[in-house]
Structure 1
Amino acid sequence: MPEIARLIGGSDCFELDFLERAAAPESAMKLGIRLHLAGLSLSDTVSILDRSGIERRRTTVHNWVQKAGLQPLNGASPDHVAVDETVIQLDDERFWLYTAVDPATNRLLHVKLAPTRNQAITEMFLAELRDKHLVDDAVSLVDSPLWMQAALHRRGFDYRYETHGNRNGIERIFRELKRRTN
């Protein structure tokens, strides 16, 4: 609901002063920004703009939203958060992907890609998750080794070791992600 509250009011509720040159009509840009902030995907937003006679790419609409400083708000407040990390092979390099997922919706809450895996990066990931979302009262579900549990404990997160059940959502996401990157 907080995202909807940002859209109440006229089209003048945000300014387009960031524009160096206007390749599209200002009203189209405001419409595109509003549609994306309301929850439409970039593709759907571009489709609606196309129907209005304004042909733009998804990256263009994304840039409008970014430059206007009106990225969709964070602030999810889940009861449980599945937290995990996995290694991803890209060409000859290995990266560690840290992910937090709301198991009730399978919505990605926070993602961090790191060139290495260590306690400091794990704690930075958890601090960023806490800054983005209201997870202080959520139970973190982990199947990770002890360093993830230790980082959760140090950061004051309530956690539970779980290998099945609500964790299945994050494992499916990781499988699909690995399939797509390989």
Structure 2
Amino acid sequence: MPEISRLSGNSDWIDLDFVERERTPEPAMKLGIQMHLAGLSLSNTISILDDLGVQRSRKAVHDWVQKADLQPTSGKSPNQVAVDETVIRINDQQYWLYAAADPATNELLHLRLFTATTTALTEIFLRELRQKHDVEDTVFLVDGANHLHAALRRAGLRFQTERHGNRNAVERIFREVKRRTSSFSNCFSHVEPETAENWLQSFARWHNAPN
């Protein structure tokens, strides 16, 4: 798996300020978080940590990822932003993953999970995106979805319909998300929606991290 080669890279993007009386050395915690976000299951992650002399449970690694509260960094000023949605299942319920990506850098700028795709929810997503990044002069690349067009018009943001080209940036990221969740059939099981969203945001932070 090529993503695993990134584990020897920079890990400064992982903030461990949440740690309180944690008995695991910080380098091992960072490695565990990186391995899980890079594609290893919790079971495989704890197996490798065990080989390194660090014995922790699957729940411990899961909690590290959740407590680290990793988010894509703010303050970007992209020329273009590709916006799209895809289906993510949590237990037996269908959710929609909204994502915005900069096609010039392939960075994820913002993502959210919603229970539906509506103009009102899209407006919430765009409002949060505007709070995090300077996108007032950005051109949004979208498909033909009416709710996307309506929300962008209401927000006074420029957009163009594009089914290929630079909009493929977000499609590539969606494929990676779905590949990453393929071990549980693109479905988060036995978790709350907030937990799944937190994992997805952590994945976005890993995806954007420098090597």
Query: What percent identity do the matched residue pairs reach?
Result: 43
Residue 193 (structure 2) aligns with: none
Q: Calculate the TM-score normalised by the size of structure 2.
A: 0.55
Residue 109 (structure 1) aligns with: 109
Are the aligned partners of 2:74 and 2:109 in contact in 1 as well (CA < 8 Å)? Answer: no
Structure scoring higher RCO (CA < 8 A, sep ≥ 6) equals 2
Structure 1 unaligned segments of length 5 or more: list them. 8-12
The Cα shift of 1:125 comes to 1.4
Match of 2:27 among 25, 28, 31: 31
Q: Does 1:75 find its partner at 2:74?
A: yes
Structure 2 unaligned segments of length 5 or more: list them. 1-10, 39-44, 188-211
Residue 151 (structure 2) aligns with: 151
**Alignment: residue pair count:** 165
**How big is the alpha-carbon RMSD for the aligned residues of Structure 1 and Structure 2?**
4.2
* Letter of the structure 1 residue corresponding to residue 70 of structure 2: Q
Q: Tell me, what secondary structure is at the counterpart of 2:70?
A: coil
Q: Calculate the TM-score normalised by the size of structure 1.
A: 0.62
Residue 127 (structure 2) aligns with: 127
Distance 1:87 1:31, change over 3 A: closer
Are the aligned partners of 1:75 and 1:134 in contact in 2 as well (CA < 8 Å)? Answer: no
Q: Distance in 2 between matches of 1:43 and 1:93?
A: 23
Are the aligned partners of 2:82 and 2:100 in contact in 1 as well (CA < 8 Å)? Answer: yes
Residue 7 (structure 2) aligns with: none
Q: Distance in 2 between matches of 1:87 and 1:164?
A: 20
After superposition, give the CA deviation of every residue in 1:78-127 in whole Å (9 maximum; x if it has no partner). Answer: 33211023456789865433222222344433333322222111111112
Q: Distance in 1 between matches of 2:48 and 2:118?
A: 45
Are the aligned partners of 2:14 and 2:70 in contact in 1 as well (CA < 8 Å)? Answer: no
Q: Tell me, what secondary structure is at the counterpart of 2:160?
A: strand
Q: Distance in 2 between matches of 1:143 and 1:6?
A: 34
Distance 1:159 1:57, change over 3 A: farther
